[in-house]
Amino acid sequence: MKKETTNQDIEQKKSTRGRKPITYSKEDLERQPMLVLICGETGVGKTYRNVTEIRHYMKDDASTGRKGRKVLAFDVNDDDYPMFPTVSPFHIKALTKVQARRIRPIAKNGQNMSIEEKREVVQRMVNQFKNGLLVLEDLDKYMVGAKGQTVVGLLTTNRHNGLDIMISHQSIAKITTTEWQNCTWLRLHHQVDDVSRYESRIPNYFLVRIATYIVDEQYNLANNAFADGSISKDEYKKRRSFFVYVDMRRLKIRGCSRDAFIRACKKFIDTEDQRKIRMMLQERDHQDKPLYKNRSAATVKLITEYLRHHETGPNSPFGS
């Protein structure tokens, strides 16, 4: 005798259809989201490095127990991430697999998206994408004006459900105060702005300034070596793409040698930290004798203190 189909059977059958339900682990719910700022002029390897970071982000890390997570990039230039499958901005909620995908800046009518449409896509991404990494390339091109800054504020302050965000800028000047205040990591390539002009908006300015001296030194060395013919064009491209990571929470700089860090500290002290040196030269011990014999001794002491901010180990917060 044929068994009668019940409403419960129908509901159970329905529940097995469609996309896989999203489930969050305890690690996902408890981890602190990251805002990673990428800064560098055109042609210094920002996107190339981003691809490497994305691949590491999707991998499990046995040493830390971190699980690989999915990635969604807004390929606003339409040629930065062609290696990743394309997805519609209207299907973001269906993304559950650990995989990197991109959204192209093409509207439904086949035309290039307007600035307003690009902003709407970013808002949709931050509201609907969960438990993964958002990659936003060249944000400065479409987040202009008051409306653009409102969206940037949404990006940097309303992160939830383990949502990490990677934002690329072409110069320090384009990074907003809100971004600086919420920044977890800064990956700094060579850029042309005078960082000292923006000291008031940068938390722990001294650390970012030292990082720029480190990067600028390597960039200039690469230019000089290529100009005198001592390195090939390929080697030149590699060297001029040098970058460091600044851990804005733990106040550490990764990705350079100890010697390079010391040289950068010395330059920072000579150009921007002389007031502190003058104060140190006025310090006395309990016998009213100067603690430092001369400016050189005070400088060495200050460099030693700054060395606490130098760190070896993986360059990237993603374990690469």
- Higher-pLDDT residue of 18 and 188 is 188
pLDDT band at 5 (very low <50, low <70, confident <90, very high): low
If you write DSSP's letter for every residue of 146-196 in order, what string do you get?
Answer: HHHHHHHHHHHH---TT-EEEEEESSGGGS-HHHHHH-SEEEE----S-GG
Average pLDDT over residues 133-151: 76
What's the CA gap between 241 and 6, in Å, rounded?
65
pLDDT above 90 for 100: yes
* pLDDT reported for residue 2: 47
If you write DSSP's letter for every residue of 284-312 in order, what string do you get?
Answer: B-TTS-BSSSSHHHHHHHHHHHHGGGEE-
* pLDDT reported for residue 29: 46
pLDDT above 70 for 268: yes
pLDDT above 80 for 25: no
Handedness of CA 154, 156, 158, 161 (dihedral sign): positive
Average pLDDT over residues 227-236: 95
* pLDDT reported for residue 148: 61
* pLDDT reported for residue 284: 80
Average pLDDT over residues 51-65: 88
pLDDT above 80 for 154: no
Domains in the chain, please, with CATH? 22-194 (3.40.50.300), 204-313 (no CATH)
The 3-state secondary structure of 215-250 reads HHHHHHHHHHHHHCCCCCHHHHHHHHCCCEEEECCC
* pLDDT reported for residue 14: 45
pLDDT band at 28 (very low <50, low <70, confident <90, very high): very low
pLDDT above 80 for 300: yes
The chain-wide mean pLDDT, for the chain, equals 85
pLDDT above 90 for 253: yes
* pLDDT reported for residue 158: 63
